Amino acid sequence: MLIVAAQLLTAAAGDGHVPAPGFLHVTDGVIGRVGAGVPPTGAGSGPRIELPDGYLLPGFVDLQVNGYYGIEFQTADAAGWATVAGRLPETGTTAFMPTLITAPVASLANALRGARAFVPGLPAGAARVLGVHVEGPFIAPTRRGAHNPDWIVDPDPAAVAELIESGCGLLRLVTLAPERPGALAAIDQFVQAGVLVSVGHSDATAAEVSAAAERGARMVTHLFNAQRPLAHREPGVVGQALTDDRLTSGLIVDLHHVAGPVCALAFRAAPGRIALVTDAAAPAGRPAGEYLLGGEPVTLPGDDGAPPIRANGTLAGSALRMDLAVANAVATGVALPAAAAAATRIPADLIGRPDLGRLAEGAAADLVWLSPQLRARATWIAGELVYTDGAAATLTAVLA
């Protein structure tokens, strides 16, 4: 398959790359060649696809998805997992981490065992599951956000081992508060098991965050939200996240969790270390109404992009799409190459997947075609077309 794009973006942020006409050739689900301009005569074999406008990007990689389309991963069955993974390509997302929030350790362990059974049965064309993200229960009660305070505990070695063993390799990311008793030892335990550790829902000082990074923590969960803020005498979680080159920060750019100018500030302060996440909850992709997060009620107040809330007004995940996150970042003044990298290469690199998040020889042919307005028009996973927006122009361009 040969794809010729009016504007191709490799997502190699930091090298001065800008969108430009280009092409790529796909064989057996892998990118074999990427070139600039018009492909030479006879280049490639098989179908030739012309994308006359918009942008061709790597498929999006989302490290924090609590649920979507009315389904919550915490309580979903195999069919629910299949529905979310099967429909996320509608948003341009081709790889993601289902996320479980604070619950009793035994309940989280049971959910991880369920995930081990569900993931192998996901349908063809579903977004890739990169592992499970467990957000809590080792967090700070004072920074709990929408998490249930009754289930927050210290990370003792037995609890950590139970999660690792239950995940059996599927547990890939854990969010914890490094100031909790036993947290630094827990970071050692998780890192030794190959689990990425993220600082989040934390009242840690900058020094405590630095100590966590020294032990192997490499991420900060939803920067600015549910964490000690930046102050001029105590930099807090935010200050350390923005200045510590060891840390990459997730950022929810729905313009409700974080104001636009502050999103732009984060990109400027930490270039190459911001990863867009949706933190999407069950109401995402659904009309206003009542849903669940962590097994407890949340309300989606409308369809204007505002996030779901708990009864006390606390923000509870988001209703964000990844293509809209990219568009929102660009609207704040972030250059498209940097916004694209934050949704593709940067999160892929963070979790050790150099085969994802880039348009490069040898990478998986996970692709998204965005409209000029930066909305997903078509998505491919391993070179297979798994979504189009249904517009006549899109179908003509992609399927002709």
Quick one: 108 and 248 in the same domain?
A: yes
Quick one: 143 and 30 in the same domain?
A: no
Quick one: 41 and 156 in the same domain?
A: no
What one-character DSSP code corresponds to residue 143?
G
- Least Cα distance to 172 among 183, 164, 184, 160 occurs for 164
CB atoms within 10 A of CB 239: 19
SS (H, E, C) 285-301: CCCCEEEEECCEEEEEC
- Least Cα distance to 230 among 220, 216, 218, 219 occurs for 220
Quick one: 294 and 368 in the same domain?
A: no
Quick one: 23 and 40 in the same domain?
A: yes
Quick one: 23 and 133 in the same domain?
A: no
Output the domain CATH number for residue 81: 3.20.20.140
- Which sequence positions are flagged as catalytic? 279
- pLDDT tens digit sequence for 22-63: 999 999 999 999 999 888 766 656 789 999 999 999 999 999
Residue type, 40: P
16: confidence class by pLDDT, cuts 50, 70, 90: low
With a CB cutoff of 8 Å and minimum separation 6, the contacts of 143 are 177, 201, 202, 203, 226, 227, 228
Rounded CA-CA distance 372/384 in Å is 23
312: exposed, middle or buried (Cβ count in 10 Å: 0-12, 13-18, 19+): exposed
Q: Is the pLDDT assigned to residue 14 strictly greater than 80? A: no
Considering the entire predicted model, what is its pTM?
0.96
- pLDDT tens digit sequence for 96-155: 999 999 999 999 999 999 999 999 999 999 999 999 999 999 999 999 999 999 999 999
Phi, then psi, of 128 in degrees rounded to 5: -70, 135
Q: Is the pLDDT assigned to residue 226 strictly greater than 90? A: yes
Phi, then psi, of 323 in degrees rounded to 5: -65, -35
Domain that holds residue 19: 2-57+359-399
- pLDDT tens digit sequence for 258-302: 999 999 999 999 999 999 999 999 999 999 999 988 888 999 998
Last residue in a domain, options 314, 330, 350: 350
Quick one: 157 and 233 in the same domain?
A: yes
Quick one: 212 and 343 in the same domain?
A: yes
Quick one: 343 and 328 in the same domain?
A: yes
Quick one: 50 and 126 in the same domain?
A: no
Quick one: 221 and 210 in the same domain?
A: yes
Quick one: 46 and 73 in the same domain?
A: no
Beta strand residue intervals within 200-348, DSSP E: 219-220, 248-251, 274-276, 289-293, 296-300
Output the domain CATH number for residue 25: 2.30.40.10
Rounded CA-CA distance 135/209 in Å is 17
- Scored b (16 or more CB within 10 A) or e, 91-118 reads bbbbbbbbbbbbbebebbbebbebbbeb
Number of structural domains (the chain) is 2
With a CB cutoff of 8 Å and minimum separation 6, the contacts of 142 are 203
